[in-house]
Structure 1
Amino acid sequence: MITADEIARGITGAWLLAKRNRAGIEWFDDSDGGFWKSFWAAVLVAPAFLGLDLLAGEFADAGPRHLAVKLISYVIDWTAFPLVMFYIAATLGRGGQWARYVVAYNWSAVVQVGILFPVAVLATLAPMAGTALLAQALTILMLIYRAFVAHVALKVNLGTAAGVVLLDVLLAGLLKNVAERIAGG
C-alpha cells in the first residue's frame, strides 16, 4: 500500500518539474517499491477520466461491454508505454534511467490531469472559442512538460525527449482507436 507521504513526494516532484525545476527528479523513489507505487497515480486520476467520459456522454447508451473495454484499455494505456520504453531506453543507452523515468512519467500525470481537468470540464459544460483555445494551449504546454520530464529523467537531449513524447501520443492514439472499435462492436 502507498502512504500519503509517498503520494505527496511524487506529486511534489512532478510539480517541481512542471515549474522546470530539475531538482524535482530527486523527489521520486525509483526503487523497485517506488516504481510499483508510482502506478497509484493511475488510481488517483481515474475519476477525472471517468468524469470526462460521463460529461461527454460516453456511457449514455453503453452496456457492460463498453464499460469493461474502457476499464481494460485504461489499464493497458498505463502499462503499455512503460513496457515499450523499457526497450527504447535500453536502445538509447539509458536503461539505467528507465525506472526513474517511469516513476516521473506516472506522477507527472497527476499534475497534468490537475491542470487539464478543470479546463476540460469548463470546455464541455460551457463550450466557447475561448475555452477550446485555452484547452488546446494547455495541451501543448503539457506536451512540452512531458518532454521536459523525459529530458531530465532519461538524461537525453530535447529532440530525443520530443520523440519519446511523440511515441507516447501515437501509442495512446492507437490504443484508443482499438478500444473504440472493440467497444463499438
Structure 2
Amino acid sequence: MHQTFREQTWDETHFALFYQQYASPLLDYLRTRTRTLEDAEDILVDVFLAARQAPQIGHETPRGQFAWLRQVARNKLVDFYRRGSRAQAIPLEHAWNLADPETAHDPEQALVQSETLDQLRTAVEHLPAPQRELLHLRFAEGLRCPQIATRMGKREGAVRIMLVRTLKTLRGMYHANREEHR
C-alpha cells in the first residue's frame, strides 16, 4: 500500500490515506515508549497534526515520509516526558472560568486571558455539532479515541482523523478570529 503523494494534492482524501498508511506503525512505535495506550494515542494525534501543518511531507518518498513522522514522534515523546508525563487536565467547562479578573494577580493578563477564552469559545460554538461533540467527549469527558468511537458509532480510525481535522479547523478559526480583533 506504499504510495507517494508527489503528483497529487494534499487534500483530505490523500491525508486520510497517508494517515492509514502510517498510523499503525507509528502507534506501535509510540506504544513501546509510553506507559499507556492512551498516552501513545495522544502523541500520535499530535504527530499527525504536525504532518497536517507540513504539506511538503506529501512530496517525500514513502521512506522519507516515515522517517519524518518517526522524527516528529520522537520529538513529541521528548516533549511529553519533559512535561512530566502528564500535564494537569481540567474539564473544558471549567476552562472558561479560569479567566476571573477578580482572582488574577495582573488585571491586564486577566483581560487578555478572558478575551482569548472568549475567542476560543466563539470558535468552538461555530463548529458543526458532531465536531463539538467530539471535542466535548475528548477534552471535557476525557475519553480516548476507542471510547469516543463507541459512543459516536464510528470506527476508531475515523474518529482519529475527525479529531485531527477538527483541531486543525478550530485552530484556523481561532487564529482568524484573533486577526479580526487586532
Q: Under TM normalisation by the shorter chain, which class is it?
A: under 0.3
User: What is the TM-score when the length of structure 1 is the normalising length?
Assistant: 0.28
Higher relative contact order, chain-length normalized (CA < 8 Å, sep 6+) = 1
**Structure showing the higher helix proportion among its residues:** 1
Greater Rg by CA: 2
Per the normalisation by structure 2, the TM-score is 0.28
